[in-house]
Every structure is written in C-alpha cells, then in structure tokens.
Chain A
Amino acid sequence: MEVLNFTYPARQPVSRRVHVGVVGSGDLEVLLEPSLDQHAHVAVTTSVDGFGAVWKIVLDRFFSRFAGAAAIEINDFGATPGVVMLRLEQAVEALRT
C-alpha cells in the first residue's frame, strides 16, 4: 500500500462534492470536494506500490483538461490507468449534473 500526493494549479472553484466508484478489484473510488485553497489537491492511496510515475502521467493529463479547485481523494484497488481516467471523468460529469 502506498500514499501519493499531488498538487495542481486551479482556475475555477468547485461548488459541490461527488463520490464515484468502489474499492473493488481493478477499480477505485473518487471523493471530490471543494479545495480549501486555489489549488487542486490529490491524495492517492493505492494497493499497488511503485507506480508513482504512472499516477503522475495520468493526473497530469486529467488536469490539462480540468481546472477545478478540488480536493480529490482516491482509494485505489489496482485500477489500470484507463479505469482511473474513466472514474475521474465520471466524477467531473457528476459535478456538472
């Protein structure tokens, strides 16, 4: 188990909180809520050690399109990068609806 933290610049406030996903095999849960400052903060707890560089690539790509000042908690149970991105996109979609 490994805990990873990331910070990204943000331009827009986030107005509400959303929860998607489950800490099931090959899946993850995302808790997204307003950040306390003008940045986006991501705290990842993952069951798979040694993939910090891959997490950074996935999150860099996600935050190239998302500018919300969100505090994001990710609890991961071995999701592939594709599943991680889908869950993040799902959280953003839930934010909009």
Chain B
Amino acid sequence: MSTAAPHERFLARHSFIELPARERARAILDADSFRELLGPFDRLKSPWLPLQGVVAQSDDGVVIARGRLGGRPAVVAAVEGAFQGGSIGEVSGSKVAGALELALRDCERGRPVLPVLLLETGGVRLQEANLGLAAIAEIHAAIVGLRRHVPVVGVVAGMVGCFGGMSLAAALCSTLIVTRQARLGMNGPEVIEQEAGITELDSTDYRLIWSLVGGEQRHATGLADAIVDDDAEAIAAQVRSAVERVASPRSEQVECFLERLAHIDPGNPPEPRALRVLWAREDAGGH
C-alpha cells in the first residue's frame, strides 16, 4: 500500500462518509457481529412529524446496534444525517439515551459494554423542541456516567457535522475522532449568518467555515483527539484503538481550558491559524 501512487491509495479507500448510518455501524463493529435493536420493522417512529406534515422514518433516523469491538461487547448509536439533518427528536434521542443507559447498567454490574457514538447531526429536531432537548440532556448524563467505567468514543465523519446540543455530547466523549470533512460547533454556519448577518459569517464560504469548525482545525486546537482519512477501515481501526486508551475527558480538564480561554481577547479574536499556535496540541493537557 505505502508504495502505491496517491490516487491508487485514494481509490482503494472505502468511504465512510458515503455510508448510511446502518452501514456505518456495521463497518465499525467486528465482522458479522452487528445486531440491530429497535430496527426499522419495530416502527418506532416520531409521532410528532406527521402531525406537522413531515414524513417520518421507520427508525427515526437512529440505528442502535450491539456487537463486538476487538472481541469485546459494544453498542453503537449511529445517527442518519440524511433524515431531517440527523436531528434528534423524542424517539431518536431516547433510543440513543436508552442504549447508553443500558450500557451503563451493564458496566455497573461488572459487564463492561463499549459505547460508540457516530454523530452526524444538526442537534435538536426543531419540530419536537423540548422533547428532543430532554433526550439530549439524558444522552449527556449517560455519557458522563459511562465515562467512569469505559471510554466513550465519538466519531464525527461528515458531511453534516455535529452541532447544537449534540456538539456537547461530542465534547463529553472520552475520545473524539474526526475526519477533515467533519465540522463541529455549537451553532451551525447558516444559523450564525441568519442571526448575526453575513458580515459576521458568510455560510457559503466553505474554506472559511472549515477553517473555523472543520475537523482539521478542531484537531489542531486540541478539541478532537484523532483525525482520520475518510476510510471505513481506518475509522474502525481508530475506534478499536480508542477503546483501549484511558483518556482524561476534556470536560474534566477545567483548569487547562480556563487557561486557554485566558489567552483569548474577545474584542480581537484570533484568526484560525493563530488559534492553532495559541492552543497548540502540546499544551492541551495530554491531548
């Protein structure tokens, strides 16, 4: 492989981004270990979308799968970015929260289950408002609970990215894996442009957007732990290696991040390049 021409290496890749959520979960888990819970034929759909004239999906856009990671029991929650922007509603959010809570219960009983979140989501589903937000809060609580027992691994591959309340879920993970195509941020670029105007942020300027919230920048500034090519096997290998590491979650590195924020002048915020120097990975407390 290493002697192959760059285009041959590129062609040999099996794109993870192009996979729908179910195939992503299958690609992460050990071969033939994928077993879906609450699948499409259970028809656990959103009761709220049809009331608002929106067609529901039979799995509400979240795939929960049990299986194995490097031979160890695991559970994967994969969000389908193509359905309603990967938005988290009452049902989809409860599926993720419920899966994580069951994993936590198993961990507490001495049967560790490795949780993996494949996040491709704009955040809460606006049509389901507080019900989605409540589920997202449950997801956050479950991640924090699980972290005491096992590493919680998050993956943001793209092209939706991970925004809103689910960006907090990503930030709470023990290890966060991104690709260069990923985006991670609180408010999405379109929302910022709509709220603060095009002079604040031009959401059509992709180079600018990715320089701010793209996977490469998030990794270079210590807000993501690993950056991987868009290759299903490379991402699966990175997940398998992440579950073997005991990581100190970013949200427990309070002093480190307060120190980093102290270097920022909000009246004169640094350019993306300057932030990489200011928040160089070496200073990120082990990240």
Contacts and interface: CB of A to CB of B under 8 A. Distances in A.
Given A22-B82, A29-B40, A75 B54 contact: no
A1 B58 contact: no
Q: Classify chain A's interface size.
A: 10 to 19
B55 A27 contact: no
Interface string A52-76: 0000000000000000000001011
Interface string B21-47: 000000000000000000111000000
Given A17-B41, A33-B41, A47 B54 contact: yes
A23 B83 contact: yes
Contact of A75 (B39, B41, B57): B57
A25 B20 CA distance: 14
A97 to B, nearest CB: 15
Contacts of B56: 23, 45, 75
A17 to B, nearest CB: 6
Contact of A22 (B39, B53, B80): B80
B55 A77 contact: yes
Interface string A5-20: 0000000000001010
Contact of A19 (B55, B58, B82, B84): B58
A1 B54 contact: yes
A81 interface: no
Nearest to A17: B41
A24 B58 contact: no
Interface of A: 1, 17, 19, 22-25, 27, 29, 31, 33, 45-47, 73, 75-77
Interface of B: 20, 39-41, 50, 53-58, 61, 80, 82-84
27 contacts: A1-B54, A17-B41, A19-B39, A19-B40, A19-B41, A19-B58, A22-B20, A22-B83, A23-B61, A23-B82, A24-B82, A24-B83, A27-B82, A29-B40, A29-B58, A31-B40, A31-B58, A45-B55, A46-B55, A47-B54, A47-B55, A73-B58, A75-B55, A75-B56, A75-B57, A75-B58, A76-B55
